[in-house]
């Protein structure tokens, strides 16, 4: 057993080192392309190098406004994800189990699903009384559809044998949702949540760029208009880091709650 643990630790350390090395190689290649003023097939000579980006980013870490923008965007994303999860899971469960609900609701929902989040903005700004509520709705839409699709498919794949066994043990329909369906669906629900989290981050940035006054997306877009490309790229990588951290949290929650997977 001890030998097995050591082997697992070694593989984990090796995997971490490879990931760090891949990031370092990417940054070195980027810096080399900028210094060499590469113009084909991409015009790297127009970009600031990673050394300039990191030095500028370091100065941002001491600014209060930077953390305020991160906090505002994170709060919007979290609100949208929670609302999306609380509505998509029961709706997906209902559509997945009831043919009448699937026929009545799913065609209309599927009509809206392929629409890009940016295309929702004009209608959203007309429907909602404040800019803040319209941005949160965009983050909600980003999280809602991936969770809905995974919940619907997962509900339809729950083994009837499990349901029948629960019924034989005296489990009623409502209790079966908590004791049978949701545990069996949980791996796919977490997959939908991970995808929805990324989409929600794309949604909040879209909303802040188009109609916001605060948030990391707004500052990124504003920096682009002011030709401050360093700040624009810093905003881009900040968004990427926040999205990556959110996905890590979701996967950590999955490992904690779905230990049998």
pLDDT tens-digit profile of 100-114?
888 898 888 999 999
Q: Residue 162: its pLDDT value, please?
A: 83
DSSP secondary structure code for residue 180 in this structure: I
Q: 37 — alpha (psi -120 to 50), left (phi > 0) or beta?
A: left
Intra-chain end-to-end CA distance of the chain, in Å? 21
pLDDT at 261: 58
Give the number of other CB atoms < 10 A from CB of residue 40: 6
Tens-binned pLDDT, residue by residue, of the chain (261 aa): 666 677 667 887 888 899 899 989 999 999 999 988 888 888 888 889 899 999 999 988 888 999 999 999 999 999 999 999 999 999 999 999 888 888 898 888 999 999 999 899 889 988 998 889 999 999 999 999 999 999 999 998 988 888 888 888 788 888 888 888 998 899 999 999 999 999 999 999 888 988 778 899 999 988 888 888 899 999 999 999 999 999 999 999 988 888 765
Answer yes or no: pTM beyond 0.85. yes
Task: Return all residues near 234 (Cβ < 8 A) that are at least 6 apart.
Answer: 53, 56, 57, 60
CA distance 102 to 89: 14
- What pLDDT shows up at residue 213? 83
- For residue 140, which of 162, 124, 151 has the smallest C-alpha distance? 124
Of 67, 61, 70, 78, residue with least CA distance to 215: 70
Q: At what angle do helices 216-225 and 64-97 cross, to 10 degrees?
A: 120
Measured N-to-C along each axis, helices 182-211 and 117-127 cross at an angle, to the nearest 10 degrees, of 70
What confidence score (pLDDT) does residue 16 get?
86
- For tokens 């930077």, name the residue: 66
- The pLDDT value recorded for residue 26 is 92
């Amino acid at each position: 057993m001890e030998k097995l643990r050591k082997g697992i630790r070694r593989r984990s350390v090796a995997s971490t080192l490879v990931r760090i090395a891949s990031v370092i190689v990417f940054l070195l290649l980027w810096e080399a392309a900028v210094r060499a003023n590469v113009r084909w097939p991409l015009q790297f000579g127009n970009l600031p190098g990673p050394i300039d980006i990191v030095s500028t980013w370091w100065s941002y870490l001491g600014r209060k406004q930077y953390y305020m923008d991160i906090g505002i965007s994170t709060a919007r994303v979290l609100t949208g994800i929670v609302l999306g999860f609380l509505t998509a899971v029961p709706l997906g469960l209902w559509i997945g189990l009831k043919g009448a609900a699937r026929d009545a609701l799913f065609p209309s929902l599927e009509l809206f699903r392929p629409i890009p989040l940016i295309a929702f903005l004009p209608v959203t700004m007309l429907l909602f009384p404040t800019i803040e509520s319209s941005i949160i709705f965009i983050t909600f839409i980003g999280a809602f559809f991936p969770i809905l699709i995974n919940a619907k498919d997962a509900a339809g794949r729950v083994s009837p044998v499990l349901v029948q066994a629960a019924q034989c043990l005296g489990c009623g329909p409502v209790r079966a949702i908590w004791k049978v369906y949701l545990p069996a669906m949980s791996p796919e629900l977490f997959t939908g949540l991970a995808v929805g989290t990324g989409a929600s981050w794309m949604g909040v940035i879209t909303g802040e760029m188009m109609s916001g006054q605060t948030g990391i997306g707004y500052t990124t877009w504003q920096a682009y208009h002011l030709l401050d490309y360093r700040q624009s790229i810093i905003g881009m990588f900040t968004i990427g880091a926040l999205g990556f951290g959110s996905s890590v949290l979701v996967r950590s929650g999955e490992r904690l709650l779905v230990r049998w997977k």
